[in-house]
A and B are shown apart, each in its own frame.
Chain A
Amino acid sequence: MNVVSNEKEKIPFGKWFKRKANGVITFLGVPANTILVLFAVILIILNVSPIISLLIKSFTLPSDDGVTLGVFSFNNFTRTFDWNNSGVSVGFFWKPFGNSLVVSILSCIFAVLFGGIAAYLLARTNIAFKKFISAVFIFPYIMPQWTLASFWENFFVNTGCTAGHMGQFQAITGIQVPQWFVYGPLPIALMLGLHYAPFAYILFGGVLQNMDSNLEEAASILGIPKWKSFFKVTIPLLKPALLSTVLLVFSAAMSSYSVAVTLGNPVSYSVLATSMQNCLSNTRNSGMGNVMALVLIIIGVFILTLNQIQTGSRKQFTTVTGKSGQITKINLGKVGKWVYGSILSLFVIFFCIFPMFSFFLESLLPNPGDYSSGITWKAWISKTPISTNDFVGFFFERKIANSLLGTLKISLLCSLFAGTCGFLIGYAVSKRRKSKGANLVNGLAFFPYLMPALALSQCFYLLGLNLKITSALLIAVVIGSLKYIPMASRSSLNAMMQLSGEIEEAGIIQNIPWWKRMTKIVFPIQKSAIISGFLLPFISSMREYDLFVFIGDDQLTLTKFMFQLRNDGCPALENAANFVLIAIILLVNWLTNILTGASIDKGLGGK
């Protein structure tokens, strides 16, 4: 025995090293492993910095200059959580926190209802107007959140509201809707639900469109009624998409700022994000703002963990096997398909087209919401200054051209980086889904989504200075890519989870190299979902503001310049810029569709 033991101990270092090295080479020989290791390192580096920064600021008193390190203290926590501090914590944290939970839960319900119903009707029925509905349903996601909120306010505000005036609906009908319908939790949740409904629509739609009909056919052959088949077969198949939707919507709604400001401020209804933003903007309360940011992150991590547990425990539903047959479509009947189609069309016209039309119209108005003297095109075509700020019309304003160019550059680069990283992460995580490494990378990839954009912006600005990075464009692309990887990786992961391992295995048996398997097998099958993973970061970057607050000057992006226009009191020009921004996004979506056959709304009957 001793001899054996001694032999074990006396393994030469060279041999031991070779054995270990072989182990590592074998491990890294699997592309999914290499991807996971690479992204684990990159994401840890990029995530650790803002988290550490946030923790430091939470546990220190704000320094006088707002940049250097303050003194260690628990004061930020006591000010935030202590019920007995003269109502500050109640007003700044507890009430907004409760409101955020209510709004987020309602938003999830609305998003799942709107997106789910639309996806189902388009993918699984013979509803009329598919092409139209499919094309415009994503508009609310493309539009900045506040435009939806402004539309709602302008349309329904009335003389019966606090600080109200006559809105469009009252002007047309004479009816005053109650204040709770105009301002407060219900409209905030409704707008957020509508804004994020395309998430549900895209994620559900992808599954419903690609799902193998064999499972439903089997239920049908066994004589199970349609409704039972829907609840026992279809809904469970949608569970991964449902969880992803709830995760994305809840986290996004919890940290959403602009809708709550527009529809909450007039009635002093604040949510955690608005309270946090106010605190972060104020030097003295910035510590409380950082604690609130931590709370938002902890909630996000909790949801993420729940999702991980579900992902780990759930049965795998292979819905794309390469053997799939035709999807069974429900016949709504000759009249039914027109009735359902008309109702859904009216819905999307009101919520998806009207807002665009309304702020195009606003760009033609002399004063916001004032139609009394007709329209004017000067915000578009005037070559002479249209305000005391010397700004000329949209088509001739050099600063708008510069900032629009900046937005396009940043958005394209963010889309490219976030989309590629997200795709690779989604692929690797799905391949190694039971491993700790996959869970780690999956969690890390989602983490930036939970970080408040403003906090990220400040942190990366300071980090850039420390690292002597002078290019605002570079910092913006890094921070944008990081922030939007979650969207791309979720989209990719959902697609990959539906993809049977057998398909790629067939390629492996044939000794086809990894890159060829990806480009010739995996990508073509799930092209629509993967390209969505590129489009989502593009859209989000195009309309991002908070993330770039500390990066570069006011002409870095069009949204930053729009903020300047708002500050300077040029609402018509701001609306014109906003309209063009959205038009460009739609154009890119359409061009992508023409050139690659894919688009965000692809696959839901919109072909």
Chain B
Amino acid sequence: MKKKLTGLLLVASTVLGMGALTACDGKKEASTRVQKAIADAETLSHDELFKKAAEELGETGQLKIAATTSRGGRDKVKDLFKAELQKHNSKITDPIKYDTFVDGAIYTTLIGEILNGKKDGYSGTITQDGYQLQKKAIDKGYFENYIPKTWREAPGADLSAKDPFTLQYNFKTWMYNNKNKDMVIDNVWDVTHSKYKGKIDTMDPNNENVNMDWLIQLTSDEEVAKLKAAFEDSTATTDVNIDNYKQFGDKKYAYAFIDRFLSNAVFYADDGKAMAHLAQTPGNIGWIVYSKILKVEETNDISKKNIVVAALGENNTDGAKMDKSCIKGFGGFMYKHYLQVLKDAQYPYATCAFFELISTNATAYSVWGGDVGDYPSLPSINVNRTKNGVDKEIADGTKVNMSCLNDPTSTWWLGKGEAVVETPSFIGAHYDDVIDFIDVVIAAKAK
């Protein structure tokens, strides 16, 4: 009996011990060192900040950045960062390590490091997904916000992007393959029509967090109003019975839209595949990251000239001159890449310096600038793409206008384009209200 009891206790203690280990419930050390450094950094000019960063790193220190975008790890950015530091310490040779993660893993990685008190881990992150950022990191105090002085004081800086500090907006938008010249999508409710069942290419919201964020954001008052107005304008083309959703009160338009969109959609594991499928399937509609359109290569059968970005229509020859949007409701979803300093960052000044560089320097930002659908929070460093589609050569050598590539500015998308904008605080607060409904709709799709 005693033997059994001892055995039982041993197993229990092992279980508890291992459980504690794997649960990773490490102690949180309140630290103001990083906050102080950030507060100081926010008062410094570019040169002063890099001087501090160079002192902090010394000759051998290496800043570690974790990101969901691989762009910031390119040599162009790294070399520029090194050059700026070398102005203050010429012996600095390898000041940054830039690692890329999928957005499902990055928060676990960073929070795991913080909770375990890792001293030489990542100091900063470039990340996306407003929900995870808000709930996992900001609400818990794991990330610190830093707003560069040079950015804040620059003319035209989008001050709505300062908290959490945003490097850039990324864009998901409606597009369709009109190779057969037999369709027009001019109202967001068009995509909910039963004739498009199985014809909407997109990513599974359970697999792509920003797609889920968009669905949650649709239930905000502002988006509901847009959906209501578009619905009332689309009675001839929609077959949605809005009364079926009256239990949701004023938000019935959002819930009806979510329900019918998800029911019609075909889910892909990644946007690249969704884009490839849309490009080769006339008559299909895509809800896809805008920049993916650039991955479509010109061949005899497939061309970007057949892809219509619904908001821009088929006759857009200059994004700068776009008037009103060609789709009623909303033209797309602006999600963001956020720059955040980790609460126990080993090199807070260097992190701030790196963030300052990529958010204010046109050369550093240019690694993102070539893509349509990526817009910096500092418009002055934006790359003009308003005529990117003019005189583009197709497979047979002729030159055509590709309306879908004449990308207007973020100002247009946020104004006349009526883009839905990701707001982490809203998504964090309302996620649980909407997710049950979304789960039920997705569950009902299962065969």
Which A residues are closer than 8 A to B by beta carbons? 48-50, 52-53, 56, 64-69, 86-92, 95-96, 99, 162-165, 184, 261-262, 265-270, 275, 278-279, 281-285, 366-370, 372-373, 387-390, 458-459, 461-463, 465-468, 470, 549-550, 553-555, 563-564, 566-571
Is B87 in the interface zone, CB < 8 Å from A? no
Encoded as 1 (CB less than 8 Å from any A CB) or 0, chain B from 49 to 83 comes to 00000000000000000100011001000000000
Across the interface, which residues of B come within 8 angstroms of A549, CB to CB?
A: 102, 104-105
A470 and B25 CA atoms in complex are apart in Å by 18
Given contacts A88-B443, A279-B206, contact A465 B116 (CB under 8 A): yes
List B residues 382-435 near A (Cβ within 8 Å): 395, 431-432, 435
Given contacts A67-B112, A91-B443, A270-B446, contact A462 B24 (CB under 8 A): yes
A71 and B151 CA atoms in complex are apart in Å by 42
Given contacts A67-B108, A88-B439, list 13 more A-B pairs with CB under 8 A.
A48-B18, A52-B19, A56-B19, A66-B132, A92-B446, A165-B277, A184-B447, A283-B135, A285-B439, A390-B367, A462-B112, A549-B104, A564-B70
Find out whether the CB atom of A69 lies under 8 angstroms from the CB atom of B25: yes
Question: Shortest CB–CB separation between residue A105 and chain B, in angstroms?
Answer: 18
Nearest 5 pairs of A and B residues by beta carbon? A91-B443, A366-B297, A553-B99, A373-B299, A569-B295
Across the interface, which residues of A come within 8 angstroms of B269, CB to CB?
A: 261-262, 265
Closest to B280 in A: A165
A101 and B142 CA atoms in complex are apart in Å by 43
Question: Shortest CB–CB separation between residue B230 and chain A, in angstroms?
Answer: 25
List B residues 296-346 near A (Cβ within 8 Å): 296-302
Contacting residue for A66 out of B26, B111, B268, B299, CB 8 A = B111
Closest to A89 in B: B443
Is B21 in the interface zone, CB < 8 Å from A? yes
Which B residues are closer than 8 A to A by beta carbons? 14-15, 18-19, 21-26, 66, 70-71, 74, 99-102, 104-105, 107-109, 111-113, 115-116, 118, 120, 131-132, 135-137, 139-140, 142, 198-199, 201, 204, 206-207, 209, 212, 266-273, 275-277, 279-281, 284, 291-292, 294-302, 367, 370-371, 395, 431-432, 435-436, 439-440, 442-447
Find out whether the CB atom of B198 lies under 8 angstroms from the CB atom of A163: yes
Find out whether the CB atom of A163 lies under 8 angstroms from the CB atom of B439: no
Given contacts A283-B132, A466-B21, contact A366 B443 (CB under 8 A): no
Across the interface, which residues of A come within 8 angstroms of B268, CB to CB?
A: 265
Given contacts A549-B104, A566-B270, contact A69 B135 (CB under 8 A): no
- Scoring A162, A282, A554, A571 by chain B CB atoms within 10 A of each residue's CB, the highest score goes to A282
10 interchain pairs (CB within 8 A)? A49-B22, A56-B19, A65-B135, A88-B443, A163-B266, A366-B299, A388-B371, A553-B100, A566-B272, A567-B271
A147 and B261 CA atoms in complex are apart in Å by 30
Find out whether the CB atom of A92 lies under 8 angstroms from the CB atom of B443: yes
Across the interface, which residues of B come within 8 angstroms of A465, CB to CB?
A: 24, 112-113, 115-116, 118
Given contacts A284-B431, A465-B24, A571-B276, contact A554 B100 (CB under 8 A): yes
Across the interface, which residues of B come within 8 angstroms of A270, CB to CB?
A: 446-447
Find out whether the CB atom of B300 lies under 8 angstroms from the CB atom of A568: no
Contacting residue for B277 out of A66, A163, A267, A388, CB 8 A = A163
Given contacts A48-B14, A52-B15, contact A370 B299 (CB under 8 A): yes
